[in-house]
Amino acid sequence: MAEIIFNNVNKYFFLQHQKTLKELVQAIFKKQKTLERVHALKNLNFFIKKGEVVGIVGKNGAGKSTLLKLIAGVSAPTSGSLEIKEMVSPLIELGAGFHPELTGRENIFLNGVILGLKEDYIKKKFNEIVAFSEIARFIDTPIKYYSSGMYMRLAFSVAIFTDPKILLVDEILAVGDTAFQAKCLTKMNEFKDKGVTIIFVSHALETVRAFCTRVLYLKKGELMYDGEVNKGIDQYINEK
Amino acid sequence: MRNNMLKYWELIKHLTLREIKGRYKQSFLGFFWIILNPFFQMVIMSFVFSTIMKQQGLGIPYPIFLYAGLLPWLFFSNSLGSAMNSLTSNSSLVKKIYFPREILVLATLVAKVFDFILAFIIFAILMLVFKINLSWYMLLYIPIFFLQFFFTYGLSLLLSALNLFYRDVQYLFDLVLTLWFYLTPVIYATEFFPEKYRFIFKLNPMSVFINAYRQVLFKGDFPKWESLVVGLLISLGLYLVSHRLFKKMEGTFADVV
Ligand SMILES: Nc1ncnc2c1ncn2[C@@H]1O[C@H](COP(=O)(O)OP(=O)(O)O)[C@@H](O)[C@H]1O
Ligand SMILES: [Mg+2]
């Protein structure tokens, strides 16, 4: 059964040339351009089944992040339809909604409910979350005093406990130290074994080869290849 | 399912707490400032306007009369000021995670209600000091406040969305607010104006609410129902239009924020 269905999906961005009403009015009088269209995703048709681990490859600006945003529901397609049958918990941004003045503890609750967790559940899992983050000593310190590494640890730990059915990962492995990256990969493998659908955007092609079961190759918003991992990556490398 | 706000109640709660805690943690003084700022404004305005207003025969001391209008007005203008930035200042959330965006606007307003309640404490004390008669009618203050909140929410939805696309909407609206303040009976009473101009106040929901507050607090009477119904209808119409526009634009918020 397909969990994610893309049906003739197009996404346009409208670049506003004027950021204020004042500029807009002036531009209209001078008959200047006000909007410019960017065709970021072109007529995409595919579906993703439960438990698939899909790598998305493509150059910068190919539309990878946009694709994830549509799946996450934060951005709407301009035309076409998109069906998502399960709860998506995007990992695209770690620590979204963190407030620097609040303590680690308070931010765990805040970020947890933002990611769709119930307060009771967070209370129950609280010790595990803190243990995973390895920052128990600083849990009652405002996070503005955290190093960026500590911040990422805390954020990732909360995200890990969201128990999503669909996991979206956009280049997060580019941040943090190697030890923590390894830990993330281990966790993602656990998700994979549990049958979670994973959509994985990465420039680390060797990781994609090892980890994914299918590859989508995007080029300027078009789907150039959809299928077997090594073939897809090879085609991408050849065309680069 | 996605439109069920009850499902999001914990999120609303924590976003509201974030607003409140974040602000008070930054400075302990901030806490007192929230209470004292409206009070000082009232004191200064009382000095400036009390001589002119004495002739009006308000029946109660001018500072109390003024405060009863100033507090709800400040709630209104402060709420709009924050709500207009509620989407832009939460750009990282808007860009990355789906939840109904009106929650950001709502949480901002609820945090302002907290400020309002704090500032109201001083007002309540002043009413005791000036020996205003207590009556059961005063309880009607609460449903009128809900109505004002609803009106503010509708306007906030509209303005926060517009401000996302054109960032000077907030500055333009500041000008509107300044004018609006003078067209609302905060520092004066509607009776100050000749009968034939008073229809302006009937069409201005803020005026309707402030008059209703004064009616239930000081006159020991029901508010004027027909005015309140007009206020309710305007609020409802505004909400329906704003909510629709907001939902229509919501899918592109993440693209422009
Ligand atoms: N919010 C936006 N507004 C306007 N254009 C955008 C926006 N986001 C992305 N784009 C454009 O859409 C295209 C795809 O971008 P993106 O999905 O971020 O690519 P990738 O993640 O593959 O690097 C690019 O041309 C980019 O400039
Ligand atoms: Mg990207």
Contact B205, B234 (CB under 8 A): yes
Distance of CA B129 to the CA centre of its chain: 26
Count Cβ atoms within 10 A of the Cβ of residue A20 and give its class: 0-12 exposed, 13-18 middle, 19 or more buried.
Answer: middle
When mean pLDDT is compared across A141-145, A220-224, B73-77, the lowest value belongs to A141-145
Residue B109 lies in a domain: yes
Give the chain A residue nearest B22 (alpha carbons). Answer: A101
Q: CA angle at residue A83 from A79 to A84, to 5 degrees?
A: 135
Contact B184, B206 (CB under 8 A): yes
Confidence of residue B4 (pLDDT cuts 50, 70, 90): low
Are A102 and B169 an interchain contact pair (Cβ–Cβ within 8 Å)? no
Query: What's the gap in Å between the CA of A34 and the closest CA on chain B?
Result: 12
Q: Which residue has the higher pLDDT, B211 or B34?
A: B211
Q: How far, in Å, is the centroid of ligand 1 from the Cα of A36?
A: 13
Domain range for residue A37?
Answer: 2-87+164-239
* Residue A132: predicted pLDDT: 87
Residue B70 lies in a domain: yes
Give the chain B residue nearest A108 (alpha carbons). Answer: B14
Q: What percent of chain B clears pLDDT 90, i.e. is strictly above it?
A: 71
Q: Which two tokens stand for residue B166?
A: 């054109």
User: Does the ipTM surpass 0.90?
Assistant: no
pTM (two decimals):
0.90
Torsion of Cα atoms, B212 then B200 then A22 then B94, to 10°: 30
A62 and A23 part of one domain: yes
Helix orientation angle between B169-182 and B141-165, rounded to the nearest 10 degrees:
150
Give me the mean pLDDT over the A68-88 stretch. Answer: 89
Tell me, what CATH number does A202's domain have? 3.40.50.300
Residue B22 lies in a domain: no
| Cα four-point dihedral sign B26, B32, B139, B208 | negative
Residue B162 lies in a domain: yes
Decide which of A108, A131, A162 is a domain's last residue: A162
A181 and A74 part of one domain: yes
Residue A193 lies in a domain: yes
Residue A92 lies in a domain: no
Enumerate the residues of chain A whose CB falls inside 8 A of the CB of residue B98.
72-74, 88, 90
Contact A60, A171 (CB under 8 A): no
Mind listing the pLDDT tens digit for each residue in B6-63? 789 999 999 999 888 888 777 777 778 888 889 999 999 998 888 777 666 778 899 9
Residue B23 lies in a domain: no
* Residue A96: predicted pLDDT: 65
Contact A198, A184 (CB under 8 A): no
What mean pLDDT is reported for chain A?
A: 88
* Residue A116: predicted pLDDT: 84
Residue B147 lies in a domain: yes
Give me the mean pLDDT over the A57-84 stretch. Answer: 93
Q: Which residue has the higher pLDDT, B5 or A118?
A: A118
Contact A47, B232 (CB under 8 A): no
A142 and A168 part of one domain: no
Contact A73, A84 (CB under 8 A): yes
A136 and A200 part of one domain: no
Which residues in B228-246 are b (16+ Cβ under 10 Å) and which e? bebbbebbeebbeebeeeb
Residue A78 lies in a domain: yes
Give me the mean pLDDT over the A101-108 stretch. Answer: 90
β-sheet bridge partners, residue A53: A198
When mean pLDDT is compared across A4-8, A69-73, A95-99, the lowest value belongs to A95-99
Cα(B257)–Cα(B250) distance, integer angstroms: 11
A80 and A170 part of one domain: yes
* Residue A170: predicted pLDDT: 81
Residue B192 lies in a domain: yes
DSSP label of A40 = E
Enumerate the residues of chain B whose CB falls inside 8 A of the CB of residue A21.
166, 168-169, 172
A176 and A229 part of one domain: yes
* Residue B3: predicted pLDDT: 52
* Residue A148: predicted pLDDT: 81
Confidence of residue B2 (pLDDT cuts 50, 70, 90): very low
Pairing of β A166-170 and β A88-90: parallel
Q: What are B165-168's contacts with CB under 8 Å, separation 24+? A: B165/A16, B165/B249, B165/B256, B166/A18, B166/A19, B166/A20, B166/A21, B166/A24, B167/A19, B167/A20, B167/B88, B168/A20, B168/A21, B168/A22
Residue A93 lies in a domain: no
- Residue with CA closest to ligand 1 atom 27: A61
Closest residue by Cα to residue A167 from A45, A52, A77, A32: A52
Pairing of β A222-227 and β A197-201: unpaired
Domain range for residue B162?
Answer: 2-17+29-256
Are A113 and B11 an interchain contact pair (Cβ–Cβ within 8 Å)? yes
Residue B222 lies in a domain: yes
A76 and A169 part of one domain: yes
Ligand nearest to the CA of A64: 1
Decide which of A147, A162, A177 is a domain's last residue: A162
Q: How many domains does chain A have?
A: 2
* Residue A90: predicted pLDDT: 57
